[in-house]
Structure 1
């Protein structure tokens, strides 16, 4: 196996070295691609030092050296990658020693196009744990039991609460399959939940298999300054970002003839539920009344699925 690990770097000067060194422990890793995204901190200098120290580390910036977001940074990393397989890691997260144990065996089968595993949680400080334990807990982010590839897309979309989600940090993909089969890579206009949208489409186009899902193979680093915790304290309105996510999924699904009508309807309901959730009170009740008159099943499902919003974080 020759694996390219892509790490988008933004505002992560304190954490990126740990991320890189957690990847360097694996002989299968052919290269580590850092894409520095005009960080406001000193991350660029730290990345330059890392690239000078380790021969397997390659450092890139966007051509205009401006900030383009995690999706665009991952796209650039994919473009620059030369390995047969691609894995991703956020700059404030890290791999565990068992990260590729299942992948070594599963990828011996050429029909396996991707493998996913379980993500754990690490709190970098007691303050972060106090603030965000209710959000993340000590739970694994994972698909809860083994499923056939044909069931992964429907399971993530249609049974979000019971099926579970896997994380970009625990995904390994055949590069050729990704390039040949995906309609596009990460959607660069989505600044949040772009990885969730990507994983939905990926599970539709590629045959993805469960690897290690009963214990963590990588750790999510939770601290006061990462993107998700900023969403949690509402410096970015989460209802808007999630509405945009499901709007994007809805737009894509309507163009795909192979997606069943019940799944398309469920996606439409999810988008509708977030539109209702972020509407002002007077408008919200008007929307609910209108939907009750036209589609009781839809609005009931939409309101119910508001409870699963936390699953997308």
Structure 2
């Protein structure tokens, strides 16, 4: 295996060295591609030091040296990647020693186009743990049992009951198949949830298989200055960003002729459930009354949606 690990770097000077070194522990990692996205801290200098220290580390920036977001930054990394396989790693996260154990066996089968595993949680400070423990706890982000690849796409859409989730940090894919089947790759106009949208489409076009699901293969680093903290400090309503996500997914689904109609309806209802939750009070109850009569599943979709319940009243 020749794995290219793509690391978008933004505001991660304290953590990127750990991320890089966690990837370099594997002989299968052909290269670690750092793409620096005009960080406000000293991350660029740290990345330059890493390229001087390690032959397998390569550093890139956008042509204009500007900030373009995680989607465009990962796309640039994919453009520069030379490995047969692609793995992703956020600059404040890190791999565990078992990260590619399942992949080394599963990818011997040519029909396996991608493998996903479980993500753990590491709090970098007591303050971060105090602030975000209620969100992440010490839980694994994982798919709860092994599923056939055909069930991964509807499972992520909440059509398979308690399916669970997997993180982009725990995904490994065959490079050529991904590039051939997924166009565009990451959508650059989505500043948040572009990785979720990417995983939805990827799981539709590629056959993804379960790797290690019962224990972490990588760790999510939670600290005061990562993306979720920034969003929280700006008082961004999580349901607002989810509306944008589901609008994007719905637009793609409606233009993809091979997606079954029941799945398209479900995606539309997920979008609608968030839009109901965000509507002004008077309009909200009018929408709820309307859909209780004309499309009750839109309301039912929302009932299982934590942000729908949180922002409903």
Which TM-score applies when normalising by structure 1?
A: 0.95
| Secondary structure in 2 matching 1:221 | strand
| 1:286 and 2:286 matched | yes
Structure 1's 309 and 51: CA in aligned 2 closer, same or farther, altered over 3 A? farther
Conserved in 2, the CA contact under 8 Å of 1:186 and 1:195?
yes
Conserved in 2, the CA contact under 8 Å of 1:270 and 1:305?
no
Q: Measure how far apart 1:143 and its partner are.
A: 0.8
Q: Which runs of 4+ in 1 moved over 6 A?
A: none
Whole-Å separation in 1 of the counterparts to 2:304 and 2:144: 19
Whole-Å separation in 1 of the counterparts to 2:8 and 2:183: 22
Whole-Å separation in 2 of the counterparts to 1:229 and 1:14: 16
1:97-116: per-residue Cα shift (whole Å, max 9, x none)?
00000000000111110000
Give structure 2 stretches of 5+ with no counterpart: none
Q: CA RMSD in A?
A: 1.5
How many residues align structurally? 309
Conserved in 2, the CA contact under 8 Å of 1:158 and 1:263?
no
Residue 275 (structure 1) aligns with:
275
Q: Measure how far apart 1:181 and its partner are.
A: 0.9
Q: Measure how far apart 1:303 and its partner are.
A: 2.6
Residue 32 (structure 2) aligns with:
32
Whole-Å separation in 1 of the counterparts to 2:134 and 2:122: 14
Residue 215 (structure 2) aligns with:
215
Residue 305 (structure 2) aligns with:
306
Which TM-score applies when normalising by structure 2?
A: 0.95
| Secondary structure in 2 matching 1:87 | strand
| 1:241 and 2:237 matched | no
Give structure 1 stretches of 5+ with no counterpart: none
Conserved in 2, the CA contact under 8 Å of 1:158 and 1:266?
no
Q: Measure how far apart 1:285 and its partner are.
A: 1.4
| Secondary structure in 2 matching 1:220 | strand
1:274-301: per-residue Cα shift (whole Å, max 9, x none)?
1111112222112222223322x23322
Whole-Å separation in 2 of the counterparts to 1:160 and 1:94: 30
Q: Measure how far apart 1:304 and its partner are.
A: 1.0
Whole-Å separation in 2 of the counterparts to 1:99 and 1:47: 23
